[in-house]
Amino acid sequence: MFRPEEMVKLDVITLNRYKDELLTYLHEAGLVEIRELDVKIAQKDAPNEYHRKAASYSITISRLVDFLKAHKKAHGGGIKEFFFPKEKAKRTYRYEGIEKLIKDVEEFLAKAEPEIRAVEGKLSSLQTEIERIKEAIATLELLSVFKLPVQYLRHSGLVEVSVGSVERLKLQALIEDLRKITEGRVALVSKELGDKALLVVANLSKDHDKVNSVLAKHSFERIEVPEGEGTPEELVREYRKKLDAKLRELDKTKKEAEKLAEKYYDDVVFYQELMENERDKASVLPMLARTNMTFALTGWLPRVDVPKVLEGIKKVTEGKAYINVREPSREEIEEIPIKLKNPSWAKPFEMLTEMYGVPRYDEIDPTPIIAFTYSFFFGFMLTDFMYGLIVGIVAALLVKGHKKFNDGTYKFAYTLLWSSVFTMLMGILFGSYFGNAGDIVLQYVTGNPNAQFWRIADALKDPMFVLMLALAIGLAHLFTGYTIGFIVKWKNGDVKGAVLEQLPWMLIIIAIVLLATRNASLAMPAKALFGIGIVLFAIGEIVANGGLAALMIISDFFGFVGTWLSYARLMALALATSGIAMVINVLVDMVWGIKISVVPLGIIIGLIIFVGGQLFSTAINALGAFVHSLRLQYVEFFGTFYSGDGKPFTPFKSKREVSKLELKADGGA
Amino acid sequence: MEAVTGILNTTIAVVFTWVGYKTARILWKYTPYSYPNARIKAMEAKLLTEQKFNELAESRTLQNFVVNLEDTDYKDYLADVSSYTVEEVERALERALAGTYGLMFRILPKRSRGFFGLLLEGWDVRNIANVVKAKLANEPASDYVVELGTMLPKVKAMAEAKTLEEILVILEGTPYEEVYQKLLLGEIDVTRFETELYRMHYGKLLSYALSRKDDERIILEEFVRLSIDRVNILTALRAKKAGLSAEETKPMLIPGGTVKLDPLLHVDSFDMALAELDSTKYGQVIRDVREEIEKDLSVLEKALNDHIIERISELERFYPLSIATPLSYVLRKEREIRKLRAIAKLIENGVEPERIKELAGEVA
Amino acid sequence: MDPIVYVSLGAALAAGLAGAASAFGVGVAGAAAAGVVAEDEKNFKNALILEGLPMTQSIYGLITLFLILLSAGIIGGGFKFAQATTDNIVKSAILFGAGLTVGLTGLSAIPQGIIASAGIGAVAKNPKTFTQGIIFAAMAETMAIFGLVGALIMIATGVGL
């Protein structure tokens, strides 16, 4: 707790023939972050032909996946799936080198790809044909204004005919130009349609070039006249028949595709995952150094995993490897990847820290603190027992359903579960159950018009109390931050920074607290502390900013005041929750009494408003509480001591959802 | 009491007017860019990565190249490719670029989308110039037509035309008619003809940019002036290399740039011309590629292109909800397509993957 | 002016201005959300959350409206300040001030919407910036929160509930 996982550096040199196996082992183990190795005398490694094949097959297969997925019958879904998703079955693949894997994939593709492509090709050609027929029908409907058999519109020979459209305004000019250039040897039929005009031009074939340039000048758009003979109306009927036939065929082919999806979908997804992992594995090759016989890799891993990894490497390389594990040196501190380490109750909260940025290796990991403060602030801002209950139930279901995946949903739901507990506690403390709905019910049940649940204060009647509470919490929060910052800096030897940057605010906060007690005997020491704090702060500003210090002193001091006052949002959001809940309750109260003869319409509508309104209020207020609680951590709290510019630990790790590798190192053979 | 109420009312009236005015301005300025810029940002996430380019360079055949592009947004445009020739792939890529322009024109607010229409006209200018040059040199003109632009059908008809007079008929009524007539009458030569076309184009761009307001004007003006500078610097250096005099070069320059090229035109050698540029704002850009420029000016063209993209991206960070986002996206997309075309060509020529990676980095 | 004018104006301005500002803010962010979803549907969740942020100001306005009406007795009983005595005018003017504060600070919903819009774009380009986008947008809300705190204090201590 409070410290990231201890890391050590690993160097391995071994023979080239173990490379594929060793990388595969590390990839599956997912415990080491591989770093670029810069050795002058050795050259960089590069992907070979098999890796290239893996990359290209992975794209090919992903296209097959897309196609099959689109045609897969959907089943499942719904609320149950959301809370309790099923785990996908993992198929085992016995890994015996990339060459063998590529061969297996090729075998599979040789069988499946032509089948799938055939159906895909058929589908797409059917679709193009259908489009073509539809277009032809549209064209024919357009041409029907001429009432001419279409074969005449396609005429060529001594006389050629072109059909097309032109902007209506240009029509007259076009006709004149055409007459002029052909010296009148042209026949024209035109029909105006909105902004455009349809035009049939018949001219002598020998005038083709001249006519063409005039047509281009006026942006004449040619229309392709569909095949067939007879009037447009007759042809349209014929084309519609063709269209129906094609549509039926399309339906049949889609069924075929569905069957194919059933047959191959799991397989293609399986092979896609295998190929994508190979592709990912190949991405570290340029980081390795190699000679003719050997290769070397370097990387970071957590100390606790060292024995396991060492044993694995020895097994894979049959002991023929040089392995060196060493402590990080002082200069390497900025390079060490950070893996957070927390007890299981705080682990899901690491997500919040990671979103901001992980600590440097010599910094403190604030996760356990924000696990508490984040949930507490969330609860403070929501402050309603029933809302907390709703959020808590949803969160608990999600936690239960997603625990086995340990995914983002699980982590988020877990933080929400904690927050809901605080929400319920705060709700009890302020007597809020769906706002004042609890009180109204209580008054109705007891018959006492002034009956109320127990509470320490009525937030709406006495907002000053809540405000003071919020500001006091803020002060405590900030004080914690400054104290941590002070300790960390002191420990890392930055005594000057600790005394000049964190200590002044600690003193000032203590002074404010002493003054707030309004105890006359404490007033003197409070003022003294405040004075020392201000002086230290001013010195710090002068040291840091020199000439600009005067300006910075003022702006930074009010910056502190602003930061502190920012905690007023705790109160504002808490009141907003009870405010909205009250608004809904008032609305329900208004309609409750409405009756149409004996039908208690008011009660029905009232219940709908109540349930809908309160659920909406829960959602919107929970969103607000989430955002602003997070903000108080990130902006106000982290601002006091935390940099968050460590590099997160990204191990060289495979992604396995539907597949599992069986390796020699696992004791397979 | 009366006076107090009066003061109060006036204060409130003033506050409300001011707030109302400011609010309306903010809304007018940012709302129209909300949808397009968010969408373009999502599209930026899909621009090809360096790793993807490396994979593409490894394709070895054009068929693989096309397959490798099928998990990208080019998929739709590549659907018709069946014979896997360079020409066909290039046409598909050009259509993709045309699609990008079309999309920009559709989603951008009316008050600034005209700029993309004008940029598209730039391809018309290129096409017309290329077709006319090809016709004069008796080469097959349709090979030089890029499938882009606002008057593509006309350009294609021009490429098919048999005589220069037919081209004139086609160009009648377009802004390019007059210049072309001069060319036919022999008043200007073909180089001058091309310059005139580009002059017209950049003039239009500049006057459009200057007619905008606020950040739109700042961004567009910066872009147009940078583009003009790029063209002028390249023209001037090429002229220097060819040993042309200042008087011969001057008519080839396009007005509106920010760099004074006069001193450069009067120096004696190419090296001195470069030294002359060193003191301008392009000094840094040129210094970085100084060595290669002496051999190959296209390196400078690439460097200047990159400089423009970088500058627009800088402005994009400055004005996140402005025309800088679509502009920088289009420029990146153009660069990406240039690179893809280059890779396709190199693959066709059977160049080794490692070499392709190097060369593709140089062209775009 | 009559006390009733102050009170009703205060309530109307609080809910009206803040509500209109929220509508504009959500509108701006919503356009951006539609844009990124058009390109890639998996942006939906992130865009939705960012789009919802400018909504809070209208809620603050609504709460203030109710508190003002409650405090003046319009909800639950009769209007307390019917007589135009000095005391009543002062109290109703305080309520007006509270409403105006929330209304004007509620305008922060518009810039918040603009920040959210830019944030939605940034998240579409790089999903890792989601939290940062939320925090940036939440910054703009601080003014509205201060406004609400001020108004609550004005209503509770100046007039009483």
Q: For residues A163 and A45, which has the higher predicted lDDT (pLDDT)?
A: A163
**Contact flag A212-B55 (C-beta cutoff 8 Å):** no
Residues of C with CB under 8 A from a CB of A: 49, 52-53, 55-56, 59-60, 62-63, 66-67, 75, 130-131, 134-135, 138-139, 141-142, 145-146, 148-149, 152-153, 156-157, 161
The answer to whether B201 faces chain A, any CB pair under 8 Å, is: no
pLDDT average, residue stretch A564-569: 86
From first to last of its 161 residues, what are the pLDDT tens digits of chain C? Answer: 688 888 999 999 999 999 999 999 999 999 999 999 888 888 888 888 888 888 888 888 988 888 888 888 887 778 888 888 888 888 888 999 999 999 999 999 999 999 999 999 998 888 888 888 888 888 888 888 889 888 988 888 888 77
d(CA B38, CA B97): 20
The answer to whether B172 faces chain A, any CB pair under 8 Å, is: yes
Return phi, psi of residue A255, to 5°.
-60, -45
Q: Which letter does DSSP use for residue C85 in this model?
A: -
Nearest residue in A to C133, CA atom = A627
Q: What is the pLDDT of residue A668?
A: 42
Exposed/middle/buried for residue C41 (C-beta within 10 Å: 0-12, 13-18, 19+):
exposed
Chain B residues inside the 8 Å CB shell of A210 = 166, 169
**Contact flag A467-C59 (C-beta cutoff 8 Å):** no
Chain B residues inside the 8 Å CB shell of A124 = 79
Q: What is the pLDDT of residue B363?
A: 60
pLDDT of A393 over the 80 cut: yes
CATH pick for B113-211 out of 3.10.580.20, 1.10.3720.10, 1.20.1690.10, 3.40.50.300 = 1.20.1690.10
**Contact flag A219-B160 (C-beta cutoff 8 Å):** no
CA A667 to chain centre: 38
Among the listed residues A610, A393, A571, the one whose alpha carbon sits nearest the alpha carbon of residue A471: A571
Q: Which letter does DSSP use for residue A289 in this model?
A: E
Q: Report pLDDT digits (tens) over C25-63.
A: 999 999 999 999 888 888 888 888 888 888 888 888 988
Q: Report pLDDT digits (tens) over B29-73.
A: 888 999 999 999 999 888 888 878 877 887 778 888 887 787 788
Binned at pLDDT 50, 70 and 90, residue A77 comes out as low
What CATH number labels B215-322?
A: 1.20.1690
Tell me the shortest Cα–Cα distance from C76 to chain A, in angstroms.
9
Q: What is the pLDDT of residue B362?
A: 65
Return phi, psi of residue A296, to 5°.
-135, 145
Q: Report pLDDT digits (tens) over B90-139.
A: 888 888 998 898 889 889 988 888 888 888 888 888 888 888 888 888 88
**Contact flag C117-B38 (C-beta cutoff 8 Å):** yes
β A647-648/A337-338 pair status: parallel
Q: What is the pLDDT of residue A479?
A: 95
The answer to whether A74 faces chain B, any CB pair under 8 Å, is: no
The answer to whether C121 faces chain B, any CB pair under 8 Å, is: yes
- Listed in sequence order, the residues at least 6 apart from C126 whose beta carbon sits closer than 8 Å to its beta carbon are B45
Average pLDDT over chain A, rounded to whole? 86
Tokens 């009483």 belong to C160
d(CA A574, CA A528): 36
Nearest residue in B to A220, CA atom = B153
Identity of the residue in B23, B34, B45 whose CB atom sits nearest the CB atom of C125:
B45
Q: What is the pLDDT of residue A669?
A: 38
**Contact flag B67-A60 (C-beta cutoff 8 Å):** yes
Q: Report pLDDT digits (tens) over B206-240.
A: 999 998 888 889 999 999 999 999 888 888 888 88
What is the Cα Rg of chain A in Å? Answer: 38
**Contact flag B19-C107 (C-beta cutoff 8 Å):** yes
The answer to whether A622 faces chain C, any CB pair under 8 Å, is: no
d(CA A468, CA A121): 71
Among the ranges given (A477-491, B3-17, B242-256, B301-315), the one the predictor scored with the smallest mean pLDDT: B242-256
Chain B residues inside the 8 Å CB shell of C120 = 38, 41
Q: For residues C115 and A77, which has the higher predicted lDDT (pLDDT)?
A: C115
Nearest residue in B to C21, CA atom = B23
Q: Residue A232 has which token pair?
A: 């447009």
Return phi, psi of residue A661, to 5°.
-100, 145
**Contact flag C31-B35 (C-beta cutoff 8 Å):** yes
Residues 603-632 of chain A whose Cβ lies under 8 A from any Cβ of chain B: none
Domain boundaries, chain B: 49-108+346-364, 113-211, 215-322
**Contact flag C131-A566 (C-beta cutoff 8 Å):** no
Crossing angle of the two packed helices B283-295 and B297-318, in degrees rounded to 10: 160
Binned at pLDDT 50, 70 and 90, residue A19 comes out as confident
Average pLDDT over chain B, rounded to whole? 85
Identity of the residue in C35, C120, C124 whose CB atom sits nearest the CB atom of B36:
C35
Tell me the shortest Cα–Cα distance from C35 to chain B, in angstroms.
4
CA A10 to chain centre: 33
Residues A323/A326/A329/A335 CA torsion (nearest 10 deg) = 60
Nearest residue in B to A58, CA atom = B68
The answer to whether A214 faces chain B, any CB pair under 8 Å, is: yes
pLDDT of A168 over the 60 cut: yes
pLDDT average, residue stretch A202-223: 82
Tell me the shortest Cα–Cα distance from B158 to chain A, in angstroms.
8
Among the listed residues A342, A422, A355, A331, the one whose alpha carbon sits nearest the alpha carbon of residue A382: A422
Q: For testing the chain C interface, which of B17, B19, B31, B41 should be mutated: the one with the most C CBs within 10 Å? A: B41
**Contact flag C148-A627 (C-beta cutoff 8 Å):** no
β-partners of residue A161 are A202
**Contact flag B42-C31 (C-beta cutoff 8 Å):** no
d(CA A418, CA A626): 12
Q: For testing the chain A interface, which of B50, B60, B172 should be mutated: the one with the most A CBs within 10 Å? A: B172
Tell me the shortest Cα–Cα distance from C98 to chain B, in angstroms.
14
**Contact flag C62-A583 (C-beta cutoff 8 Å):** yes
Tell me the shortest Cα–Cα distance from C114 to chain B, in angstroms.
7
pLDDT average, residue stretch A259-287: 87
**Contact flag B35-C118 (C-beta cutoff 8 Å):** no
Among the listed residues B33, B206, B24, B25, the one whose alpha carbon sits nearest the alpha carbon of residue B111: B33
Q: What is the pLDDT of residue A664?
A: 65
Percent of chain A whose pLDDT exceeds 90: 25
The answer to whether C16 faces chain B, any CB pair under 8 Å, is: no
Q: Report pLDDT digits (tens) over A529-559.
A: 999 998 988 888 888 877 777 778 887 887 8
Percent of chain A whose pLDDT exceeds 70: 99
| One-letter amino acid for residue A476 of the chain | A
**Contact flag B5-C43 (C-beta cutoff 8 Å):** no
The answer to whether C13 faces chain B, any CB pair under 8 Å, is: no
Residues 347-366 of chain A whose Cβ lies under 8 A from any Cβ of chain C: 355-356
pLDDT of A667 over the 60 cut: no
**Contact flag C156-A568 (C-beta cutoff 8 Å):** no
Chain C residues inside the 8 Å CB shell of A582 = 66
Residues B261/B266/B270/B276 CA torsion (nearest 10 deg) = -50
Q: Report pLDDT digits (tens) over B280-331.
A: 888 888 887 777 777 778 888 888 888 999 999 999 888 888 899 999 999 9
The answer to whether B158 faces chain A, any CB pair under 8 Å, is: yes
Q: What is the pLDDT of residue A76?
A: 63
Binned at pLDDT 50, 70 and 90, residue A628 comes out as confident
Q: pTM of the prediction?
A: 0.78
Ordered alpha helix ranges (H), A325-366: 350-356
Query: Which H helix or E strand runs over A14?
Result: strand A7-15
Q: For testing the chain C interface, which of A575, A589, A632 should be mutated: the one with the most C CBs within 10 Å? A: A575
pLDDT of A661 over the 90 cut: no
Chain B residues inside the 8 Å CB shell of A62 = 71
The answer to whether C36 faces chain B, any CB pair under 8 Å, is: yes
**Contact flag A216-B55 (C-beta cutoff 8 Å):** no
Binned at pLDDT 50, 70 and 90, residue A392 comes out as very high
